[in-house]
Amino acid sequence: MSEELQQEYAMRFAAMAPYRQAVWKILIRDFFSRWITRECAVLDLGCGWGEFINQIKAARRFGMDLNPDSPRKLAPDITFYGQDCSAPWPLPDNTLDVVFTSNFFEHLPSKMSLRRTIDQAYRCLKPGGRLICLGPNIKLLPGEYWDFWDHYVPLTEASLSEGIRLAGFEIQTEMARFLPYSMSQGFAPPLFFLQVYLRIPMLWRFFGRQFLVIGRKPR
């Protein structure tokens, strides 16, 4: 299974790797860095080739994935866990400031697996820590969602928010439309467009087909 994951990731993203790195540099700088300071401990759940975790500035960085290529793609100071995310994480309670995940939850085999994963995030986050989730919204791309062999769990911003709330989180952000759904299809608009897009939330209502959900562990 891990070899198949390795092959799928390479098929979809190898040709776009430099562009994806540049996209995530902008996303971090212009948007996600508002929730992550240099003093934070951050775990990238489903870290892939490290597009996010390699570029985020944080005191302690962790990545988790089953892809055999992941540890070779991560910076040397990143602690990597090559394990099933629904199994207990090798971290003490109240360790992390942020758990970040992008386009990952839909790849889990079931909602029960997703719930166990969310429970682990809750356990490992400090009081006040955040779970930041980005992913394709089934309401906005019902056909395209199933074009990928390894998409199992259909999610909307509302269903994920409900699951996160049931696990004990407070919902800080529940956004149905955030980013477009494009890079896995080979669409690579000029990076300047992304910078403009992030500055004009009105555009998100027309082009956004990925949700953004942020849950906060109560203090």
pLDDT tens by residue, 155-167: 999 999 999 999 9
Is residue 16 predicted with pLDDT exceeding 80?
Answer: no
| Total of domains in the chain | 1
Q: Is the dihedral of CA 158, 172, 202, 199 positive or negative?
A: negative
- Residue 89 CA to residue 175 CA, distance in Å, equals 28
* Mean pLDDT within 13-37: 90
* Mean pLDDT within 97-120: 97
- The DSSP symbol for 67 reads -
Question: 6: which 2 tokens?
Answer: 């390795």
Supply the CATH number for residue 25's domain. Answer: 3.40.50.150
Query: Which is more confident, 16 or 171?
Result: 171
> Which residues constitute the domain of residue 115?
2-216
pTM for the model stands at 0.93
- Residue 26 CA to residue 157 CA, distance in Å, equals 23
Place of tokens 């529940």: 174
Is residue 184 predicted with pLDDT exceeding 60?
Answer: no
The alpha carbons of the chain give a radius of gyration, in whole angstroms, of 16
Place of tokens 């390894």: 150
Is residue 3 predicted with pLDDT exceeding 70?
Answer: no
